[in-house]
Amino acid sequence: MAGVPSLGALPQTQFTLHQLFEQAQLEACMKLSDDSVELAQRIAAAEADKHADGMGVLQVQVEDATDKAGNLFPPVDQARSFMVPDWPCQMVPACATAEAMVEALDAGVPFLATAPEFTEQFADIPDGLAYMQRVRGHDFRQPRIAFRGGWGRPASSMLDHTMLKMVNSVQDIMDEQELALNIQIFHRPEDGLPVLPARLNWPLPDMFGGATSQAETVQLDAPIAGPGLHNKADEALSGRDEVQQSGSGVILDNATRISRRGAVTWWHLDDCGEYVYQAQPVLLGPNGLPITKLFVYAPVEAYELITQDQRKGSEEDSMVAAVDPFRCPSHWLPKDRSGQPVLPTFYIAALEAGGPPLMSAPNMPHMVITIQDCVMVEQRRLSLMCMDEVAYFAERVRRWRDPPVLYKAFSQGMSDAVYVGQRIIMPLLRRLRAAVMAGLDTLSPSERLFAQRAYLSLQALVKYRRNFAIAPELLRSLKQHLTDAAAAAPTLAQQDGRGQHLEAAQQNMRQAASGVTCLPNGQFVAYIHVAARPRWGTVRDNLGRAKVDQKLLQDAVKAGNLEALLLQMASGEDLGAADAAAAEAEEDDLFD
């Protein structure tokens, strides 16, 4: 199909973000996002500067702006210029068999489910956009909020109302020619929209549960707000005091997303440690399956590198403090003593129109770039086999100033001792006991992984029990069962790949400090924000040395020579050695 980007020229193993940017023609999409931001700002300026006759005047004066610390915001031309570093990337695996999917789960990475039973579920919908316009094109039953393409980008305010637009129909979204709009419709009984995500055929039912039609309704009795999670009752997602559960899968939500080309969903986590299974029910012609969305995933333990919750001033100005990987010269990135960047690998997933569904792994910071106008459907499920993911998310929420809007399965279900005991702990214990009694040597690789996942999930419930309501007697019994299982089958207690990522992420989170990033490899690097965009120094082996670098960065900002200092560091010059000799070299104990 003419004009449609192809990733066929990229290496099958590793490539760089710069290569992806060029091969997937991302510059045009990112510029559309920029144009959407600028137009929104102009519209807001016109609204604020109306003449007495009510006519709007588009007058936008571009001025240098500074943040609260006096740091200069990037000029417009710099903010729009692309500086894409050679950040290492690799494609997510394409899995045609259950064994391949289990291997991806074990490694803790997203994957594409390519077997025919997963790719043919929307064969009767030749064009998803036309379908949505036909079934509900002229009106929603109530207006909905659409995001403009650049909402949430680094150095923007999360409270910027100019990046939102009320729409009344699918047609409103498609008729908008100047703004890259993006709307996520979470299905509720009263909205009258067909719930296409309910068609999704989830793989690995032992891990994720069966079909949506087989789910049973489970009532919740506890009040909303799990231990330490101050969530208001009227802020809980997904309505009534009940959850839909299908075996090992707790169905959280169904959503349909309509996106215009150039819409960018910037770095975020999904809602509460769940898996998200998404597909593109659009077939746009006989010339192949065009790419409609690109997903960029960072490792779960790279959260502090991607977004910096510790940024001073963020509570006052609500600015998004995060790395912009498309406007980031290499000398701004963490570098070793020779000046070479030290970076985790991004995982890249290309969602194709009518192609295989994508399984997004929990808790991985990710962003999504829309390459073509499209409709995407998704279903969200918690897996009982991955309660360590839920525990990690709960610990992350505790460190945020305000908790997000949470699903009741999380905010209410995890504080319901009956639900936790009967619907989470007991099914996991039954699976664990059966595996131990049968002997791990008699199990298939998938069965062994599920047994290990059951053990690790139960272990997480015990270790992070402040986030879960567990009856005292059941907790004592659970601890004994885990001890007995580990004695009978020691390999159960060994962390799988996903568990290792989560443990590293938990440790990095506990060691997070303002102005210092704990990297996925356990090293430390100082950073400083300029207009909420981070600039990093040299990677160090201990926190004390990184704090010396932090002081160097702060002094450079005051002296107006930060860029020169970063270039010196990137050249391999080890600055601040004299100060470091006098500094405390031992790592500070920041653990809870």
Q: How far apart are CA 321 and CA 10, in angstroms?
A: 31
CA distances from 259 to 22, 63, 97, 176, 466 (A): 22, 32, 31, 11, 39
Query: Strands 111-113, 94-95: parallel, antiparallel or unpaired by DSSP?
Result: parallel
Q: How far apart are CA 548 and CA 105, in angstroms?
A: 40
Contact 283, 199 (CB under 8 A): no
Q: How far apart are CA 274 and CA 410, in angstroms?
A: 10
CA distances from 496 to 276, 277, 455 (A): 21, 22, 11
What pLDDT shows up at residue 528?
Answer: 94
Domain boundaries of the chain, sorted by first residue: 113-293+347-392+400-495
- CA neighbor of 216 nearest in space, from 422, 375, 433, 498: 422
Residue indicated by tokens 């986030």: 467
What pLDDT shows up at residue 310?
Answer: 72
What pLDDT shows up at residue 5?
Answer: 52
- CA neighbor of 211 nearest in space, from 251, 256, 243: 251
Assigned token pair, 322: 């995060």
What pLDDT shows up at residue 592?
Answer: 41
C-alpha angle with apex 502: 383 to 99, nearest 5 degrees?
A: 55
Helix (H) or strand (E) holding 41: helix 26-48
Q: What separation, in Å, do the N-terminal and C-terminal C-alpha atoms of the chain show?
A: 55
Give the Cβ contact number of residue 200 at 10 Å.
Answer: 23
What pLDDT shows up at residue 466?
Answer: 95
What does pTM read for this prediction?
0.88
Residue type, 434: A
Three-state secondary-structure class, residue 288 = coil
**C-beta pairs of 155-161 under 8 Å, 24+ apart in sequence:** 155/73, 155/74, 155/79, 155/319, 155/320, 155/324, 155/531, 155/532, 155/533, 156/37, 156/319, 156/320, 157/317, 157/318, 157/319, 157/320, 158/318, 158/319, 158/320, 159/318, 161/44
Q: How far apart are CA 1 and CA 495, in angstroms?
A: 45
Per DSSP, the chain holds a count of helices (H) and strands (E) of: 20, 20
Q: How far apart are CA 270 and CA 429, in angstroms?
A: 27
Contact 252, 380 (CB under 8 A): yes
Q: How far apart are CA 215 and CA 212, in angstroms?
A: 5
Q: How far apart are CA 398 and CA 395, in angstroms?
A: 5
Helix (H) or strand (E) holding 429: helix 426-438
Give the Cβ contact number of residue 238 at 10 Å.
Answer: 21
Contact 385, 457 (CB under 8 A): yes
Q: Under 8 Å CB-to-CB from 243, ≥6 apart: which residues? A: 217, 218, 220, 250, 251, 408, 409, 413, 419
286 dihedral zone (left: phi>0; alpha: psi -120 to 50; beta) = alpha
Contact 218, 255 (CB under 8 A): no
Domain 113-293+347-392+400-495: which CATH number of 2.60.40, 2.40.160, 2.60.120, 1.10.3470: 2.60.120
Give 406's Cβ-side CA count (13 Å radius).
Answer: 27
Contact 146, 164 (CB under 8 A): yes
What pLDDT shows up at residue 360?
Answer: 97
Contact 105, 383 (CB under 8 A): no
Mean pLDDT, contiguous 10-residue spans, the chain (592 residues): 52 82 86 78 64 34 33 42 89 93 92 91 81 74 87 85 88 85 88 87 95 88 50 44 90 93 92 91 54 94 89 64 91 92 94 92 96 93 96 91 81 92 96 95 92 96 96 97 95 89 90 87 92 92 93 94 93 64 45 40
CA distances from 399 to 331, 335, 402 (A): 30, 28, 9
Q: How far apart are CA 335 and CA 581, in angstroms?
A: 21
Q: How far apart are CA 386 and CA 381, in angstroms?
A: 11
What pLDDT shows up at residue 8?
Answer: 58
Helix (H) or strand (E) holding 460: helix 445-463
Packing angle of the helix pair 445-463, 472-488 (nearest 10 deg): 140
Give all strands (DSSP E) within 331-431, no chain letters: 346-352, 358-360, 366-370, 374-383
Residues in the chain: 592
Helix (H) or strand (E) holding 264: strand 264-268
Q: How far apart are CA 446 and CA 79, in angstroms?
A: 48
CA distances from 462 to 450, 471, 473 (A): 19, 11, 13
Q: Is the dihedral of CA 555, 560, 563, 564 positive or negative?
A: negative
